[in-house]
Structure 1
Amino acid sequence: MSLSSSPRIPNSVTDIPRRRPKERKRQDLRSYYGIESSVAGNSALHNQGPVGHNPDLDRDDFQLDEYVAKVNQTPGAKELLKIENELVKEIRVLNGERKALIYDNYGRILTISETIKQLRLRLDAMSVSWGDFESILHSVRKLSTVSGATEPAVEQDELITAQSAEDLTRQWLQEATIRISSLTAFEQYAAALDEVADVEAVLEQSGDALLDPDTAQQLKHSLRSEREQIQERLEEGKQEKQEQAPSVPAKD
């Protein structure tokens, strides 16, 4: 084997200033990691000049043990090994700090990913289909027309009394799914379940007289579906709270 890397001797005086910034950086690194004492012991080795090529290393009968014993007898070899051991220790410390930094950043990335996941789940829970949204807007327009009309109060009373209680109940049943979907979209789960129970009670009592059989059956199916969705979201909310709750250490 041969020594392929040996200190380069400056070709001219102009090469020396170019190396000063590197020496300054090395000095700053030594000062930051607290290895000034090692530099003092190593300065004697630098003053010895560049290491030349040793032809004995390329011989076929090269003996490693004899060469190591000879090197150990050379002045400054022990100091060189001491500096090498210190550098190895410092490299291990830096490697440990690097791994700790990587793990810390990885933990932060996991926390951010979990936060984004929870936000997406909340947005999905609040999302409403476009068809339901149009129905909600239609109901809001009707309510605003009734409440914000400029007609006298007497005419409003006549308009309301003109409709029989049966017609009002029928309209209330037909708009039940819109009201329940709106409450569910805004996470008003308790109010939505109460609304489902009220509508089911009216359907059981007088649904056949107010709605045709197909419409009544479709409404019952929609109410069951809404109830199941609300219960699923309530269960998901409980699971999220349990996962986010801090774990209590077991007592000895």
Structure 2
Amino acid sequence: VHHILKHPAVLKSPAFIRNLLRRDLAAFLHAHVTQIADNERMTVNTGSGEPCIRNDGDRTFHSWVRDTGADHTSCPMSFTFCCYLIAEHDGKGFPSGAKHAYLTADLRLHLAAMCRMYNDYGSERRDRRESNLNCLDFPEFKPKSTLGSIDGTSDGTSDGTNEVNSVNGHQPKDTTLSDQKAELLWIVEYERRCLTLAFDKLKDTGISTTYVRALQLFIDVTDLFGQLYVARDIGIAQKPGVIATN
């Protein structure tokens, strides 16, 4: 925390710019606390005695993946800090203006959402085992038969068995885990298109070639790291009894 907030590139920036990084850092730390709390609150025991996540639908997937889910990756905070370093190296100061600020915030949010979804795509099995909230736990990825009726029951029953089974990997015939993952990757590609558009528009705000190239490098590295999860889960497994946060 001290290294980031007291970095020379940060201290040279205007106060309102420094406050942006401070808010991003606080959001990153808070997201980890929130995810731990969500994991504890949503963990239930199945009939076999194995714990699993049962999403209570308190938030939509769209709002979560752009808020707690995104901040948890550290991408927004890292992106902002990277911009400070680029500006110092470029020697032209931190770019200003409403258009630049808006497009930068939009770009990093799309990138962070992609990062989170790629991560959860690859770590789905580990997250199930560790009772860790995953993108695929959200009701939007479940078939209608598991979403429950108006009175809160599931498929006409009162014990929510179908909901627990869907989270525990026993999907009804009208959906499969592969279907859910395919939907998740479709959304990732949508976010990628939004990211590309935001970056193209950002280039038109007059930022230097050096700034553009450095941002492109950050985007490419972050994107590559996310895609590694599609090929293989590279996360660190938690010890038994320890609540996972990633």
Give the TM-score normalised by structure 2.
Answer: 0.25
Greater length-normalized contact order (CA 8 Å, ≥ 6 residues apart): 2
The structure with more radius of gyration = 1
Report the structure, 1 or 2, having the larger helix content. Answer: 1
**TM-score with structure 1 setting the length:** 0.24
